[in-house]
Amino acid sequence: MGENLILKPYVEMLYKGKQTNTGSRKLYYKYLLNALYGKFLTRPDGISIDYQIINDEWQRVKIPTEKRVNYMPLGSWIAMEGRVTLMRAILSIPQENFIYCDTDSMIFTGDKFPNVTIGENLGDWGIEQTNVRANVVGAKTYQELTNDGKLITKCGGLPQKDKEKVAWGELKEGLQVETAKPRRDKDSWAINIEPILYTVNTRANTFYTR
């Protein structure tokens, strides 16, 4: 990236947009960055989903596609470098102080600070919260309570407005929260928002073939 005069400014522009915006604008830049990274790791051939009228009915059609924007070495290097950087940060503090980590973040206790660079540039670390109480349930599922009473709830798969329904300490395995999910009607193909109960589940899924 350091040698590419086209890619480098583009990535830095997206990163700056993500850092300097809030709400839907910040999410917009985040999606563009994630999509760019995903393109490098995509398979050169794949399937696109389209909806076409066949025999007077809307039907879901799979169309073979050739994907040209891919470069496995770069995509693999980004993923590898992120994990190596995270592991180095974790190992730079006493292991009894380590509490939790995600793909690009960590929660720890004690006075020993990780050996990382704090800054605003791409690749630097930032400090999200200090002096918090933590309730860690599992992967991408935890709560942080600040000294001034601010509650931050992370729960992958649950919309933000529904995370706010969960009080401090209530987040746990098997907890059910009322939410809504889009569902496609099999006859009209219309997408409807239907109320459902979301169950917190942090256990890893195992897939196998017979």
Q: What pLDDT sits at residue 69? A: 66
Average pLDDT (67-96) is 87
Lowest mean pLDDT among 3-17, 80-94, 122-136: 3-17
Overall pTM > 0.85: no
Q: Please give the share of the chain, as a percent, with pLDDT higher than 90.
A: 47
Confirm whether 136 is domain-assigned.
no
- Order of strands, edge to edge, in the sheet holding 133-138? 133-138, 141-145, 151-155
Q: What pLDDT sits at residue 2? A: 56
98-109 per-position pLDDT tens digit: 999 998 899 999
The answer to whether 67 and 45 have CB atoms below 8 angstroms apart is: yes
Lowest mean pLDDT among 79-83, 168-172, 202-206: 202-206
Confirm whether 65 is domain-assigned.
yes
Confirm whether 111 is domain-assigned.
no
Confirm whether 23 is domain-assigned.
yes
Q: 13 is in which domain, residue-wise?
A: 1-43+58-70
Confirm whether 7 is domain-assigned.
yes
Confirm whether 120 is domain-assigned.
no
Query: pLDDT at residue 1 above 70?
Result: no
End-to-end alpha-carbon separation of the chain, Å? 43
Confidence of residue 26 (pLDDT cuts 50, 70, 90): very high
Confirm whether 2 is domain-assigned.
yes
Confirm whether 10 is domain-assigned.
yes
CB-CB neighbours of 206 under 10 Å? 5
Query: pLDDT at residue 210 above 70?
Result: no
Q: What pLDDT sits at residue 206? A: 63
178-187 per-position pLDDT tens digit: 999 888 777 7
Query: pLDDT at residue 172 above 90?
Result: yes
Q: What pLDDT sits at residue 103? A: 86
